[in-house]
Amino acid sequence: MDEVVHKLKNKSTEVKNICCIGAGYVGGPTMAVIAKHCPEIEVNVVDINENRINSWNEINLNNLPIFEPGLDLIIDNVRGKNLHFSTDVKAAVMQADLIFIAVNTPTKLKGIGAGQASDLRWIESCAREISEYARGHTIVVEKSTLPVRTAEVIENILNSAETNSKREEISFDVLSNPEFLAEGTAIKDLENPDRVLIGGDNKNAMIELSKIYRAWVPEEKILFTNIWSSELAKLTSNAFLAQRISSINSITAICEVTSADVREVSRAIGKDTRIGSKFLDSGPGLGGSCFKKDILNLVYIAEYFGLSEVANFWESVVKINSWHQQRISEIVVKKLFGSVSNKKLVILGFAFKANTNDTRESAAITICKNLLNEGANLLIYDPKVTASQIENDLKTNQTKSAENYKSSLNEKLGSWEYSKSINNLEIFNNAYAVLVLTEWEEFRKLNWMTISKKMTPPAWVFDSRSIINTEEVKDAGLRLWRIGDGLEN
């Protein structure tokens, strides 16, 4: 209770105790890095998901709920010292001088705005919990990606607590501090961010938040802005990044029907310093939990304000992505003589990108579902994604066998199996094709000569990530399709 007393005394008390609500892909790594650089601050990460919290507290660091390079080392150093994971939201909120809200904000599935608007029910429940349990003065920070003007909703809920006569001693400031980390490089991004954006209208609160980041982020990278610009900047940033990928993926289709090579096109345009070379890698279609939902949210906002041209412009980024994933599935079927029914296909990679165990919106889900609908028998391998996650994503009934998992849809549709490893290359036995869907480093080093001998000729390699050594594949007598390659395909 000492902390509470200390908070009650002074509205501009220095931040000594942080709470983060939501122990997910953002909450976990972000708080770990803050705890590392601010040993004098107590950081409590809380979540309603008990399993997740138990995993964060696992002694074996291989069992953390999130795979993120470098995260285990930081957790090992700070967990139990000034970083704590718990399900006790009430205790953590009561003690906190500053609370990050880092809960999920998925696309609404029902009701007004379904399919586009963000579902803010988890944000609302956080605001209600904070209003109930907070003591003294508390800075509340939006870390989740939110529609413009969500801070107003949070403020309304908090203010209703503030005006409650029994609670006259409590007060809040609401800030926006969107997160720009990408999965797979989260620790690198957090340690060395391009910028830290802080939106708000209370300068003192903004300074208090900035002091935390100043422990390791140069001052010139910390930007102050108003709260609505901060919220919109996050959505816009994701929309611009996604737009680049959809743009280059649309060009792959043109490359494939001409004699152009998309890698050469990317290289040439990337040399223009106005365009830049990053985010120009063509692939099987953008995935991840945020790009699609954030663009759809932008579309919803534009439509809400009657800006249909703006809405159509951004919606096309999502539409072309769906079309692109469909296109790749169709190419596989066409190349395998128009049918994949009862044919074994090896799927390499299920995560939406390398170096993460996250599969949300992964192109692999759409492509695998399409191939299952065509009757294919898939053997799926990903170094970090579990069989139960794949089961969840493919929504099939599954029975476990000793070493692997097998599932059948029904007689007309295909089936899938899970492989825990590719070390002995047995998974390639009698396969008609290999599809590379995630750019894991280990797929670059495969011995195609040995693999080729195990497959059913004429066997195909479909490289949607441009990571396979084309010469080795061809020398091994395999047929190769590479994304955006007008010369090979």
- Under 8 Å CB-to-CB from 312, ≥6 apart: which residues? none
290 as an active site residue: the answer is yes
Q: Are 147 and 297 in contact (CB under 8 A)?
A: yes
CA distance 211 to 475: 58
What 8-state DSSP symbol labels residue 430? Answer: T
What are the angstrom distances between the C-alpha of 354 and each of 70, 264, 277, 292, 333? 14, 23, 19, 19, 25
What are the angstrom distances between the C-alpha of 202 and each of 158, 208, 356? 16, 10, 37
Query: Which is nearer to ligand UGA, 85 or 352 (by Cβ)?
Result: 352
What residues does 302 pair with on adjacent strands? none
Instruction: Give the nearest distance from C-beta 450 to ligand UGA in angstroms.
Output: 28
> Is residue 241 within the footprint of ligand UGA (CB under 6 A)?
yes
Q: What angle (nearest 5°) sits at the alpha carbon of residue 137, between those of residues 131 and 143? A: 65
> Is residue 19 within the footprint of ligand NAD (CB under 6 A)?
no
Among the listed residues 17, 20, 22, 314, the single contact to ligand NAD using CB under 6 A: 22
Instruction: Give the nearest distance from C-beta 236 to ligand UGA in angstroms.
Output: 11
Stretch that binds ligand UGA, among 199-207, 284-292, 426-434, 475-483 (CB under 6 A): 284-292
Select which of 38, 126, 290, 368 is catalytic.
290
- Under 8 Å CB-to-CB from 97, ≥6 apart: which residues? 3, 7, 13, 14, 15, 16, 17, 18, 136, 137, 138, 139
Any idea which residue has 């870390």 for tokens?
143
Which of 72, 69, 78 has the alpha carbon at shortest distance from 34? 78
What are the angstrom distances between the C-alpha of 351 and each of 298, 364, 381, 389? 25, 7, 10, 10
Which token pair is 463?
């490289």
3-state helix/strand/coil string of 119-168: CCHHHHHHHHHHHHHCCCEEEEEECCCCCCCHHHHHHHHHHHHHCCHHHC
Instruction: Give the nearest distance from C-beta 220 to ligand NAD in angstroms.
Output: 22
Query: Which is nearer to ligand NAD, 230 or 289 (by Cβ)?
Result: 289
Site for ligand NAD in 354-383 (CB under 6 A): none
- Under 8 Å CB-to-CB from 351, ≥6 apart: which residues? 357, 358, 359, 362, 364, 382, 384, 385, 438, 440
Count of residues near ligand NAD by CB under 6 A: 27
Count of residues near ligand UGA by CB under 6 A: 20
Please choose which of ligand NAD, ligand UGA, none residue 241 contacts, taking the beta carbon within 5 to 8 angstroms, the exact cut-off set by kind: ligand UGA
Instruction: Give the nearest distance from C-beta 311 to ligand UGA in angstroms.
Output: 20
Please choose which of ligand NAD, ligand UGA, none residue 105 contacts, taking the beta carbon within 5 to 8 angstroms, the exact cut-off set by kind: ligand NAD
CA distance 48 to 265: 47
> Is residue 283 within the footprint of ligand UGA (CB under 6 A)?
yes
Site for ligand UGA in 314-353 (CB under 6 A): 352-353
Among the listed residues 15, 17, 27, 407, the single contact to ligand NAD using CB under 6 A: 27
Instruction: Give the nearest distance from C-beta 293 to ligand NAD in angstroms.
Output: 7
Query: Which is nearer to ligand UGA, 2 or 194 (by Cβ)?
Result: 194
- Per-residue x/- track, 96-135, ligand UGA (CB under 6 A): ----------------------------------------
Please choose which of ligand NAD, ligand UGA, none residue 350 contacts, taking the beta carbon within 5 to 8 angstroms, the exact cut-off set by kind: none
Query: Which is nearer to ligand UGA, 343 or 353 (by Cβ)?
Result: 353
Q: List for the chain the helix, strand, coil content (%; round to 5).
A: 45, 15, 40
Query: Which is nearer to ligand NAD, 252 or 362 (by Cβ)?
Result: 362
Please choose which of ligand UGA, ligand NAD, none residue 245 contacts, taking the beta carbon within 5 to 8 angstroms, the exact cut-off set by kind: ligand UGA
- Per-residue x/- track, 412-441, ligand UGA (CB under 6 A): ------------------------------
Burial of 175 per CB tally in 10 Å (0-12, 13-18, 19+): buried
Site for ligand NAD in 89-128 (CB under 6 A): 89, 102-105, 122, 125-126
- Per-residue x/- track, 163-202, ligand UGA (CB under 6 A): ----------------xxxxx-------------------
> Is residue 130 within the footprint of ligand NAD (CB under 6 A)?
no
CA distance 455 to 459: 6
Query: Which is nearer to ligand UGA, 188 or 453 (by Cβ)?
Result: 188
Among the listed residues 44, 145, 329, 415, the single contact to ligand UGA using CB under 6 A: 145
- Under 8 Å CB-to-CB from 110, ≥6 apart: which residues? none
Site for ligand UGA in 286-315 (CB under 6 A): 286-288, 290-291
SS3 74: helix
Cα-to-chain-centroid distance, residue 224: 26
Query: Which is nearer to ligand UGA, 55 or 247 (by Cβ)?
Result: 247
Which of 165, 140, 136 has the alpha carbon at shortest distance from 150? 140
Which of 19, 24, 22, 21 has the alpha carbon at shortest distance from 66? 24
b or e along 293-318 (b: 16 or more beta carbons within 10 Å of the residue's beta carbon)? bbbbbbbbbbbeeeeeeebeebbbbb
Instruction: Give the nearest distance from C-beta 97 to ligand UGA in angstroms.
Output: 26
Q: What amino acid positions are annotated as catalytic residues?
A: 290
- Contacts with ligand UGA, residue ranges (CB under 6 A): 145, 179-183, 238, 241, 245, 279-281, 283, 286-288, 290-291, 352-353
What residue ranges bind ligand NAD (CB under 6 A)? 21-27, 46-49, 52, 89, 102-105, 122, 125-126, 144-145, 179, 181, 183, 289-290
